[in-house]
Amino acid sequence: MIEVGIIGGAGYTAGELIRLLIHHGKVNINFVYSTSNAENKISAVHQDLIGTTEMSFTSTINTEVDLVFLCLGHGNSKAFLAAHKFSANTKIIDLSNDFRLKDDQKFEELSFVYGLPELQKEAIKKAQNIANPGCFATALQLALLPLAHHRLLQNDVHINAVTGATGAGTSLSKTTHFAWRDNNFSYYKPFTHQHLGEIHQTMQQLQNDFNAEINFMPNRGNFSRGIFATVYTKFEGSLEEAEILYKDFYKDAAFTFVSTQQVHLKQVVNTNKCLLHLHKHENKLLITSSIDNLLKGASGQAIQNMNLMFGFEETEGLQLKATFF
C-alpha cells in the first residue's frame, strides 16, 4: 500500500483521481490539498463522492508521501515545486503542461519522463517523475504512433477533433456557460493548440525526419466529456496492411484497441480506453480516435502511470465500464 497526495484538489481531474484512487487496492489517499477549500468536505465539492468518503481538503502537505499528483493550472506546477520540497523518495506525476516538452523536462534537481505508456512504458517504470500527456495530445498521438514508428508519415496530417465541456476546466468563461454551450458548436485555437508541441515531439522521436504539417482544428462540443478525433494522411498501403500494422503496434497495450467497426464516443466515456478505427479512401488513411478526456486524457492515464512506476498491474483500479446509456 502506498501513500499518495493530491495538490489542487477541487478541479475535474482531481475529482476523478479521488474517485478512482478511493477504490484502488494498492493506494491510500494521505491528503488532498486545496487552500481555497481547506477543512471543507471533499464531497461538498465533488458531489458524486457523497457517501463514499468523509475526507476533507487540507492546507497542510505531507512531504514524505510515496507519490504526489499535481493537478494545478498550466504554468503553476513549477512555481509550486519551487516553493515546496518533497522528500527524495517522493515520486511526482504532473498533470499540467509544465514538463512535457524536452526543454522543460529538467527542473531544479527534478527530471521528468513523458508519460504516454504506449510509447514510453519501460521508461515510465524506471521514472521518478512523470509529465502526464495532454488530453488532445493523447488521442492524436495514439492515432499516429504506428505510422511514425514505421516512418510512414511523409505527408501533411489533417485533424478535426471535438472535446467536451470538461476539457475547459471548472473556471467559468463565456464559452463554458451552459447557455452558450448548449445546442452549440465552435472551433478554437485553429492550427495553434498548445498540445501540438508534444505531438510534434513524439512524431520526431519515432521518425526523426518528420517535418510535415499537422493541421489541427480543435472544436468545442455540447456534451460534458470525451474526445472524438478524425485524423487523415496519405497512405499507399491497403486497409488490411494498415490494420495489421496498428494491431501489431498495440498488441501489448493495456487500454488501446483497434476496432474493425466504427467507434463512437459512448464506448469510451468513463473508461481509460482509447478506441481506434481505420478507413481507407483512395490514397488516404482515416484514423478515428476516441477517449475520455478526464480519464485516458488525464486522471486515468496518471493512475496507469502510477501503476507502472510502482510495479502494480497496469490495469489496477482502471477496469471501468463505459457509461453507455
pLDDT tens across 29-78, in order?
A: 999 999 888 889 999 999 999 999 999 999 999 999 999 999 998 889 99
Tell me, what CATH number does 49's domain have?
A: 3.40.50.720
Same structural domain, 173 and 185? yes
Query: Does residue 250 share a domain with residue 155?
Result: yes
pLDDT at residue number 175: 61
Whole-angstrom CA distances from 120 to 13, 86, 123, 145, 205 are 22, 25, 5, 12, 11
User: Residue 33: what pLDDT?
Assistant: 96
Say if 67 falls within a structural domain: yes
Pairing state of beta strands 106-107 and 110-111?
antiparallel
Q: What are phi and psi of 12, to 5 degrees?
A: -65, -45
Please report the pLDDT score of residue 183 as a whole number. Answer: 74
Q: How many Cβ atoms are within 10 Å of 188's Cβ, its own excluded? A: 13
In this structure, the answer to whether residues 32 and 73 fall within a common structural domain is: yes
- Same domain assignment for residues 102 and 160: no
CATH number at residue 198: 3.30.360.10
135 in catalytic set? yes
Let me know whether 214 and 68 are in one domain.
Answer: no
224 with 125, same domain?
Answer: no
Supply the mean pLDDT for the chain: 93
Of the candidate ranges 24-33, 143-152, 222-231, 285-294, the one whose mean pLDDT is the lowest: 222-231
Together in a domain, 251 and 305:
no
**Residue 114: DSSP 8-state:** E
Task: Kindly report, residue by residue over 144-195, the tens digit of the pLDDT.
Answer: 999 999 999 999 999 999 998 776 554 555 666 565 667 787 888 888 878 8
Give the distance from CA 325 to its chain's centroid.
24
| Domain coverage including residue 7 | 2-132+298-309
Q: Do 108 and 177 fall into the same domain?
A: no
- Count of domains forming the chain: 2
**Looking at the structure, do residues 47 and 101 belong to the same domain, yes or no?**
yes
Asked if residue 316 is part of any domain, the answer here is no
Residue 1: predicted pLDDT: 93
Is residue 119 located within the same domain as residue 141? no
pLDDT-above-90 percentage for the chain = 84
Encode pLDDT of 262-289 as tens digits.
Answer: 999 999 999 999 999 999 999 999 999 9
Instruction: For Cα atoms 243, 228, 282, give the angle at the middle one, nearest 5 degrees.
Output: 45
Whether residue 254 lies inside any domain: the answer is yes
Specify if 315 maps to a domain.
Answer: no
Catalytic residue, from 6, 10, 72, 135: name it.
135
Do the strands 27-33 and 2-7 form a parallel or antiparallel pair, or are they unpaired? parallel
Tell me the average pLDDT across 187-210.
Answer: 90
**Size (the chain), residues:** 325
Task: Give the whole-angstrom CA distance, residue 49 versus residue 19.
Answer: 7
In a domain, 71, yes or no: yes
pLDDT at 179: 58
**Domain-located, residue 323:** no
Q: What is the pTM of this model?
A: 0.94
Do 258 and 125 have their domain in common? no
Q: Do residues 128 and 140 both lie within one domain?
A: no
Q: Is residue 179 part of a domain?
A: yes
Residue 3 has pLDDT above 90, yes or no: yes
Is 322 within a domain? no
Instruction: Please tell me the least confidently modeled range out of 14-18, 295-299, 309-313, 319-323.
Output: 319-323
In single-letter form, the type of residue at position 243 comes to E
pLDDT at 70: 97
182's grid cell: 448548449
